[in-house]
Amino acid sequence: MITPPTWNRRRFLTHSAAVAGVTLGFPGLLSRGALAAPDPATPNHRIRTGHIGVGGMGSYHLRLLKDQCVAICDVDQRRLAKAGQVVGPKARLYRDFRELLAQPEVDAVIIATPDHWHAVMTIMACEAGKDVYCEKPACCTIAEGRAMVNAAKRYERIIQIGSQGRSQSAAYFACAYLRNGMIGQVSRVNCWHYANPVGGFKPYTEPPPELDYDRWLGPLRWKPYNVDGTLGSFRWFIEDGGGQIRDRGAHVMSVVLYLMNADHTGPVRIEASGAPPEKGIYECPPDMEVKYTFTNPDWELHWSQPGETPAEAADLGNNKYGAKYWGDKGTLVVSGGDGGTDTELKAKRFHAPPGGPKIYRSVEHHQDFFNCVRTREWPIMNIEAAHRVASLCILGNLAWRLGRPLRWDPVAEKFLDDDQANLFLNRPGRHAWHI
């Protein structure tokens, strides 16, 4: 780890203690004035953004928000230079995200790094007085997610996680349809998704000169560089990306919890099955089945990978994945779960009666975030909801890794009578990158 020259030892240790304090309960270390939000009257383009990670979705966010971007950070020098050309000279360029967080002109940060950096960067951004838009999944462990929630509350920060399916109109229509009882009491939700890839056959090499590989690894335990284990391919390793269930599952199951009004809770039992890959260095099971049991109300959530695409999804957009809801009066299919979310015509044509359930509606995911930066209300994919969604992905993988059913307390967020499973609630972070 390289500490920037502007961060002396005393300041760095104080900052690290603040990050730890989010979990351990230490008092906040910044004054209230340091956490002031942008002027509520300020228009969107004046909410100045700093972008951390500008490959993949990060490049999309940068192009969308380039007019308000004032700072960019990436550990890949080529990506950083290319991003700088997109925005122009008004954006400062950094290789170390801590230097970006130290800039007072940055009001909010857009984090689009690999998953293993999400928690540490989000917590440090909150401590630095920045609001956060972070890509999904929110976290890699249960402890990380809860620490992110604590940080948002302690430092009064707005966090939006990039599971944008909730901001799609089809998700709202489906939510109104279900919550108004149009299919009755829902007892089962079946998610379908295609399999994890099998691969990773390239040799181990030295990292390319433009990539600061040590900073790319960050909190992850050290491992030799392989082009099939970094950039987009990190997703096919259990600790790094967790496979389809933690990648796309963070979209599909986000919509499920939104429709089921279950952002505040979790399952009480998790069962999983699937054979590991027989070749290559990828770790995630190609095929995977996970069953989550919820109580009060009682219902089941099934993740099937690959699963059977319902006939009702044939004419829906983005139907390579999605979920079917089974109630005692009927069914409903919602395809996708991210930017291409769609649902059946009967839900789109439904008009909720007066006095029905109030449902939070977002018209666009980034817009919802910036609106909430101004109003200080929590957005549609707030960090508590995102933590609960990420928990489903994490718990499913953990049940598969341990090879046995797990009993879960969604209030205490601990496994019941299973000391071994509880060891996986958190993991040590390399260098100072831990919570």
pLDDT of 285-331, one tens digit each?
999 999 999 999 999 999 999 999 999 999 999 999 999 999 999 99
Which of 17-21, 166-170, 205-209, 303-307 shows the lowest mean pLDDT across its residues? 17-21
Instruction: Please state, rounded to an integer, the average pLDDT across all residues of the chain.
Output: 91
Which of 21-30, 237-246, 383-392 shows the lowest mean pLDDT across its residues? 21-30
Instruction: Please tell me the distance from the alpha carbon of residue 386 to that of residue 380, in angstroms, as a whole number.
Output: 10
Fold of 166-355+382-421: Dihydrodipicolinate Reductase; domain 2 (3.30.360)
* Over residues 115-132, mean pLDDT: 98
In contact, 393 and 235? CB cutoff 8 Å? no
- The rounded percent of the chain whose pLDDT value lies above 90 is 87
At residue 22 the predicted structure's pLDDT band, cuts being 50, 70 and 90, is: very low
DSSP-derived pairing of the beta strands 322-327 and 330-335: antiparallel
* Over residues 122-136, mean pLDDT: 98
First to last CA, the chain: 16
Instruction: Please tell me the distance from the alpha carbon of residue 108 to that of residue 130, in angstroms, as a whole number.
Output: 5
* Over residues 229-233, mean pLDDT: 91
CA dihedral sign of residues 10, 16, 19, 24: negative
* H-helix segments, 104-191: 118-127, 142-154, 169-179
Tokens 């030892």 locate to 9
Neighbours of 232 (CB within 10 A): 11
Tokens describing residue 362 = 């977002």
DSSP state of 359: -
At residue 390 the predicted structure's pLDDT band, cuts being 50, 70 and 90, is: very high
∠ CA 344-162-173 to the nearest 5 degrees? 20
3-state secondary structure of 133: strand
Question: CA-CA-CA-CA torsion for 73, 133, 217, 24, nearest 10 degrees?
Answer: 120
Q: Which CA distances in Å does 77 have to 150, 175, 350, 420?
A: 33, 43, 51, 41
pLDDT score at 26? 27
Sorted by sequence, the CB contacts under 8 Å of residue 165 that are 6+ apart come out as 171, 251, 252, 254, 255, 336, 337, 338, 339, 341
3-state secondary structure of 17: helix
Q: Is the pLDDT of residue 332 over 80?
A: yes
* Over residues 402-430, mean pLDDT: 97
Q: What is the pLDDT of residues 69-86, one digit of tens each?
A: 999 999 999 999 999 999
Fold of 11-163: Rossmann fold (3.40.50)
Tokens describing residue 106 = 């940055």
Tokens 């809801």 locate to 325
pLDDT score at 325? 98
Q: Is the pLDDT of residue 2 over 80?
A: no
Q: Is the pLDDT of residue 50 over 70?
A: yes
* Over residues 25-35, mean pLDDT: 30
CA dihedral sign of residues 66, 385, 130, 136: negative
At residue 46 the predicted structure's pLDDT band, cuts being 50, 70 and 90, is: confident
pLDDT score at 41? 47
Residue span(s) of the chain under CATH 3.30.360.10 come to 166-355+382-421
DSSP state of 76: B
Q: Is the pLDDT of residue 348 over 90?
A: yes
Residue span(s) of the chain under CATH 3.40.50.720 come to 11-163
DSSP-derived pairing of the beta strands 406-409 and 108-111: unpaired
pLDDT score at 263? 97
* Strand locations in 10-63 (E): 49-52
Q: What is the pLDDT of residues 245-279, one digit of tens each?
A: 999 999 999 999 999 999 999 999 999 999 999 99
Sorted by sequence, the CB contacts under 8 Å of residue 120 that are 6+ apart come out as 19, 218, 219, 429, 433, 434, 435
Predicted TM-score (pTM) of this structure: 0.90
408 exposure class (CB count in 10 Å sphere: 0-12, 13-18, 19+): buried
At residue 6 the predicted structure's pLDDT band, cuts being 50, 70 and 90, is: very low
**Between 173 and 5, residue with greater pLDDT:** 173
* Strand locations in 57-196 (E): 69-73, 92-94, 108-111, 131-134, 159-161, 186-192
* Over residues 213-217, mean pLDDT: 96
At 385, which helix (H) or strand (E)? helix 383-402
Residue-by-residue DSSP string for 245-272:
HHHTHHHHHHHHHHHTT-TT---SEEEE
* Over residues 104-133, mean pLDDT: 98
Instruction: Please tell me the distance from the alpha carbon of residue 424 to that of residue 93, in angstroms, as a whole number.
Output: 37
pLDDT score at 38? 53
At residue 39 the predicted structure's pLDDT band, cuts being 50, 70 and 90, is: low
* H-helix segments, 321-381: 345-348, 365-375
